[in-house]
Structure 1
Amino acid sequence: MDDYTIYKWGDCNLLTDKLKESTLILGNGASIAISDVFSYQSLFEKATSDQILNSKATNVFEAIQTKDFELVLNKLRQAAIINDVLGLDSDHVASETYKDIKDALIKVVKDNHISYQSRRFSINDVRNFMKQFKTVIDLNYDLLVYWAIMSDNPITMKDCFTKRRGDGDGNSFNYEIETFRETYKNVTNPTLVFYPHGSLVLLTDKNNEELKIKRTNNDNLLDEIANKWSGNYVPLFVSEGDSAQKEKAIKRSSYLNFIYENVLNNLGENIIIYGWSMSDQDKHLIDKIFKKTNVKTVFLSIFTDGKTDDELEEEQTKIIKILQKRNKDITIKFFASNSEGVWNSISM
């Protein structure tokens, strides 16, 4: 029998003794809980509505039939390289459009992202919540989780990016992720963090090598990102598209595809979901995480404010059907997203 009870985080035996064996999945609702500026669903829609993208740039998106900045920028960069090699006069067109779109992306991100200082107390709570888990899957591409990791001292969470050999401009992903499960740099049993849809701190260089930006401090990270994007780097995150388009974007990236094929289908028996609505756009993730895996118990946050009992039950029924379609034996429980002790409500 399905359980429609909406618990508080601390009153329903929410794996409090097993969190270090469990996985936390974070969706857009987690970012919105920190600031409602993250409620926009599409960078492309924001860029066009605010007229940040010019008509020529918008036409490129329409021609490729995508809203994914990363895909468009990569195609334009390839076009510019080919035009240059062939000595075509149209080289400046691809280069100028590439710059226009990259400048628009920088502006829309910087205009719609909070500063570290404005939410540093919430980020402290987020950090303390995250570090209780074995694995964290961050489906957002904003900087909140990265800030939480880097503000920890000593750092007890690892995203498996390590210093490159030589004088590289960023850190490279270490695919031997299980080595991080052991004691790493004096940290025992660290929490591992992964970004299945990429992140603002990830980028590719002109050789398509995937890197994480080196951080000098949390306060100017957005400026560092903008500086990198202004150069020969392309951001590595899936910004828009339906499930099929997102899966294609994942397949283009060595890092994203590794997470998709080797991490998401092995998250353990217990999963806590915070702020993820599991919409049709994320069907590829839902299938990978819950279909033919060993997940047994799922705890889901639910936003209760302003909703009637019927509305809440309708929302719960939808989620139960989504999960049981993948695995009919999964045990599902719900908890209020604003419960004390969860996400950014630890200090209530």
Structure 2
Amino acid sequence: MVALLSFAEAIADSEQFSKRHLLLGNGFSIACRPDIFHYGSLFSAADFTNHPELVKVFDVLKTQDFEVAIKHLEAGSLLTSIYARGHVDVAAKMQADATALKEILLTAIAGNHPDVPSEIPNEKFWACRRFLNLFLGPSNDGQVYTLNYDLLLYWTLMHEDNPLSEVVVLATNDGFGNDEDDPMADYVVWQGEVGAHNARVHFLHGALHLFDAGTELQKYTWIRTNDRLIDQARRAINDNKYPLFVTEGSSSQKKAKIRHNAYLYQGFKQLTANASQGKHCFFILGHSLADNDDHILRRLGTGRFRKLYVSLFGDPELPGNQQIVAKANKLVAMRNDRFPLDVSFYNAATANPWAFA
């Protein structure tokens, strides 16, 4: 029988540590909008009904990454004049499919995400800010890591506090700042490893407001644009800037993409560094500890921090929760005897960040 703490009990127990850090999974977003966030990836949410042949492109390339598929189609269309000389229709078809794939990606993004922050009630944002205060507030110099690529965390950090009752001070540094060449741009840019050293918020798998512009990583800011998500994404993709997110594939495939992107790898190193601190502790909320995120979980299992608090939703004896318990115990077994890891489980319903009092 699994002993289940309340979230308040877990927080009280964590007071013995100098810092508490938070790792968010999809349950964080589901708790806010269960109607649209119950899906595993954009690929699984995409509708290929009118273009079934495009699924074969992903199969051949052994990827579920939209950017990879689009760029291969566009590059391939340019090469047909060499390898399929005289078949102009092939190049046109590949270009048309690349365009169609962009629209499928945009539709998947827009159909599975609130369009603007105002679609989320203010009360939910204020509650979530109170929740995040336990990790990003003045009394705790912790960090928040999210495996989600949606904008709910970002919107919460940017949201104004309740003017009638409270002000919640949160550290919001994510390593981005003004573009020195265009400080009034609609976006800010990642400041690099040195500039990101003091970042407190990390999108470990990227996010829908982060766009790879080739020479820099840009973060489109709601405050500066007030654009709907779909309009922002369409404009960026039409400029050959793609949202930076890692939601598809196995743990090894995700790790490979992380290692080849400076921003993602910096967040990964920050998590690793904090996991190596013996006086810190970690909370996991809304994550199933699935194998496809082993590249992250192993850093917790092989770290030196002493206490891990893991959320369970519903009856602890449910098969899904038993799998989480078993995986958490595997993390414990990874530890060197000199740095043992203790795991406690808490009731996710008592930690509901979107109704946190």
TM-score (norm 2): 0.80
Q: Which amino acid aligns with 1:65?
A: K
Identity of aligned residues (%): 24
Q: CA RMSD in A?
A: 3.1
1:114 aligns with 2:114: yes
Q: Is the 8 A contact 1:22 1:271 kept in 2?
A: yes
Cα distance change on mapping 1:233 and 1:313 into 2, 3 Å: closer
Q: Which amino acid aligns with 2:252?
A: A
Q: Which amino acid aligns with 1:148?
A: T
Count of aligned residue pairs for this structure pair: 328
Q: Is the 8 A contact 2:289 2:324 kept in 1?
A: no
| CA distance, structure 2, for counterparts of residue 192 and residue 137 of structure 1 | 8
Q: Which amino acid aligns with 2:287?
A: W
Q: Is the 8 A contact 2:128 2:156 kept in 1?
A: yes
Q: Which amino acid aligns with 1:210?
A: L
| CA distance, structure 2, for counterparts of residue 149 and residue 20 of structure 1 | 23
What's the secondary structure of 2:40's corresponding residue?
A: coil
Q: Is the 8 A contact 1:266 1:294 kept in 2?
A: no
Structure 2: give runs of 5+ residues left out of the alignment.
136-141, 162-168
Q: Is the 8 A contact 1:127 1:152 kept in 2?
A: no
Structure 1: give runs of 5+ residues left out of the alignment.
182-190
| CA distance, structure 1, for counterparts of residue 227 and residue 39 of structure 2 | 23
Spell out the pairing of 1:175-194 with structure 2 (5 A cutoff).
Answer: 175-176=192-193, 181=198, 192-194=200-202
The residue number in structure 1 matching 2:28 is: 30
Shift of 1:95: 3.2
Q: Is the 8 A contact 2:10 2:309 kept in 1?
A: no
Q: What do the CA deviations read for 1:204-254 (whole angstroms, capped 9, x no partner)?
A: 12x353221133356724432232223321111013101111112222322
Q: Is the 8 A contact 1:53 1:101 kept in 2?
A: no
Shift of 1:86: 11
| CA distance, structure 2, for counterparts of residue 105 and residue 313 of structure 1 | 32
Cα distance change on mapping 1:54 and 1:222 into 2, 3 Å: same
What's the secondary structure of 1:131's corresponding residue?
A: helix
| CA distance, structure 2, for counterparts of residue 82 and residue 170 of structure 1 | 34
Spell out the pairing of 1:9-24 with structure 2 (5 A cutoff).
Answer: 9-15=7-13, 17=15, 21-24=19-22
Spell out the pairing of 1:161-180 with structure 2 (5 A cutoff).
Answer: 161-167=176-182, 170-176=187-193
TM-score (norm 1): 0.82
Shift of 1:147: 0.5
Cα distance change on mapping 1:310 and 1:210 into 2, 3 Å: closer
Q: What do the CA deviations read for 1:140-183 (whole angstroms, capped 9, x no partner)?
A: 001101111111467631211111122356322123467764xx
Shift of 1:84: 9.4
Q: Which amino acid aligns with 2:130?
A: N
Q: Mean Cα displacement is larger for which, 107-116 or 166-175?
A: 166-175
